[in-house]
Amino acid sequence: MAIDGVFTHFLVDEIDSSITSGRINKIYQLSNNELIFVIRANRVTQKLLISTHPSYARTHLTNLDYIYPKEPPMFCMLLRKHLEGGIIKSITQKGNDRIIMIEVLHTNEIGDKVIKKVIIEIMGKHSNFILVDNDTNKIIDCIKHISPFLNSYRTLQPGANYIFPPSQDKINPFKATRDDFKRIDHTTNNISRELVKTFEGVSPLLAREIMFNTTYPNYEAIYNSFHDLFDTLKIEPTMKITEKRDYYYLFDLKSISGESRLFDTLSKLLDRVFYGKDKKDRIKQQTQDLERFIKNELDKNVHKIENLNSDLEHSEKADEFKLSGELLTANAYMIKKGEKKVQLENYYSPSLETIDITLDPRLDPIENAQKYFTKYQKAKNSVKYILEQIELTKQEIRYFETLYAQIASANINDAMEIRQELEDEGYLKRRYRKKKKNAKPKYETYYDEDGVEILVGKNNIQNEYLTHKVANRNETWMHAKDIPGSHVIVRTTEELSETTIRTAAQLAAFYSKGKQSSSVPIDYTKIKNVKKIAGSKPGFVTYDHQKTIFIDPDEEFILNLSQK
């Protein structure tokens, strides 16, 4: 719980200094529990992210780019009605709790100035966003409703009076006195827990840091350590990277050993900590049906190829049928009609061993031989058919493995293009009217430290477009060797520097099925050496004259790459 009350205290100061007196220009709802307020303050447009996600609840300014839904949900429409165009009057914290209050001066439908209050409760799975009428203290609406049947003390639904969560009768650490520390049982083996129980907004993480600096566990020593930390507190937002997990806090935690990475602001720290985590959940909400379909198709084809291999094994008895027919024909004069089995010498074998041949007693020897020749012809034809089906099924498996890898790192637009591709290929019924042909796929653009532009396709449609429509024939193409991945285009015809090669190769490795592996082989060659496979699905190519570089994918490196 790194976002404790103390963290919130300084986070509120940071947000308040940036956007108070600013105008709320637009509100977007990214998912069931995420909102973005676009605010114009101090001649700068800022984005305030508010998340009530049970695992990633937080509020901070963000520099990340988000894809906004085309159709706003009803809750978002209500917020736009009550808050858009409003001026932020204040941003405060309740005591030292993880509750943030934003007062907004807004003009209502009849032209009156009214104050609406946004209350953000950052409380794990109980996190909530509540819009309250300041004059009546009535709840206008909230993200998570709680009926009186679930909580008789605190109802959270439209029309109910807003009540803060029950007070825990803790001491605000910023107002703590020496006498307050006499409440702590310093004889216990877990004084950190006592600090958490006694002081509002002090998390176990902060309590351990306080005790780390305490020389002797009596109340005087604890007070001195506590007092020293709060009096000399310098905000240095830090991520602490250890072998087992990463930590983050207002300052560098001396009680934890590991690599320290400093950030300019608390908001930038939170952007980095939560980058991709809530995004994955948001995308999963909107694409889980598509992901399930791709996985089912993949599993279906894997099962199909198992059955085909079994059929092939059976069909490969064709030569046995042919041999039986030939031996029956050669020895017809020795066989009587009505026999059920006969033993004949195999004159094709050097050892001339005898083999058993089952007969139909209703047929004469020649008719039995003809029956075996018919079986032989059918088996021979089926082998050819089965081999064709195996090859087609292998192509399907490769195709859906590619899609499955792509959906894992897709944003909403990428996923919708994957759906469009499946519709175009006839796997899915078309849900919407087909996009106009001139709609350009939205691929990723990066720049290495030399300023060289590098393009990355994140699905087959983007890969096809980049390789066959955008790239110059003398530019460089990269792809992870023998595994599903992105087409990466280096947009220069000049000889590539080692820096550019390694940067593009990092992108090819990161945007591939091998992103969690080490020493991923990346092939690269000129675009003129890359050819589309005739009749294949989008993005499938062959290439030659390639070189290979081995790369250990580095997510931190990718995150720090410029995209502007």
pLDDT in tens for each of the 564 residues of the chain? 579 999 999 999 999 999 999 999 999 999 889 999 999 999 999 999 999 999 899 999 999 888 888 889 999 999 999 999 999 999 999 999 999 999 999 998 888 899 999 999 999 999 999 999 999 999 999 999 998 888 778 999 999 999 999 988 899 999 988 888 888 887 788 889 989 999 999 999 999 998 887 877 777 888 888 888 888 888 999 999 888 888 999 999 999 999 999 999 999 999 999 876 766 676 776 778 888 999 999 999 999 999 998 888 877 778 888 999 999 999 999 899 999 999 999 988 888 899 999 999 999 999 999 999 998 888 888 888 889 999 999 999 999 999 998 888 787 778 888 888 898 888 888 765 555 555 788 899 999 999 999 999 999 999 999 999 999 999 999 999 999 999 999 999 999 999 999 999 999 999 999 998 999 999 999 999 999 998 888 899 999 999 999 999 998 899 888 886
Q: Domain limits at 499? A: 441-559
**Residue 354 belongs to some domain of the structure:** yes
Asked if 296 and 428 count as a contact pair (C-beta separation under 8 A), the reply is: no
Q: How far apart are CA 209 and CA 204, in angstroms?
A: 9
Domain count, the chain: 4
350 and 396: one domain? yes
Element at 60 (helix H, strand E): strand 58-61
Side-chain-facing half-sphere of 259: CA atoms under 13 Å? 7
192 and 96: one domain? no
Identity of the amino acid at 203: S
Q: pTM for the whole thing?
A: 0.62
327 and 270: one domain? no
- φ, ψ of residue 365 in degrees (nearest 5): -55, -45
- 283: three-class secondary structure by DSSP: helix
At residue 2, the pLDDT reads 79
192 and 320: one domain? no
333 and 220: one domain? no
Estimate the crossing angle of helix 5-19 against helix 266-274, to 10 degrees. 110
Q: Which of 143, 148, 114 is nearest to 131 (CA)?
A: 143
471 and 554: one domain? yes
DSSP H helices, 201-317, are: 204-212, 219-231, 266-274, 277-315
**Residue 100 belongs to some domain of the structure:** yes
98 and 203: one domain? no
**Residue 423 belongs to some domain of the structure:** no
41 and 116: one domain? yes
- φ, ψ of residue 105 in degrees (nearest 5): -90, 120
**Residue 197 belongs to some domain of the structure:** yes
At residue 475, the pLDDT reads 97
The tokens 């609840």 sit on which residue? Answer: 57
24 and 46: one domain? yes
Q: How far apart are CA 537 and CA 518, in angstroms?
A: 29
Q: Which of 248, 277, 306 is the last residue of a domain?
A: 277
380 and 470: one domain? no
**Residue 417 belongs to some domain of the structure:** no
Dihedral of alpha carbons 295, 299, 300, 304, sign: positive
**Residue 335 belongs to some domain of the structure:** yes
**Residue 159 belongs to some domain of the structure:** no
**Residue 161 belongs to some domain of the structure:** no
- φ, ψ of residue 524 in degrees (nearest 5): -145, 145
503 and 523: one domain? yes
In sequence order, what DSSP letters do the residues of 513-536 get, joined into one string? TTTTSSSEEEEEEEGGGEEEPTTP
Q: What one-character DSSP code corresponds to residue 502?
A: H
251 and 343: one domain? no
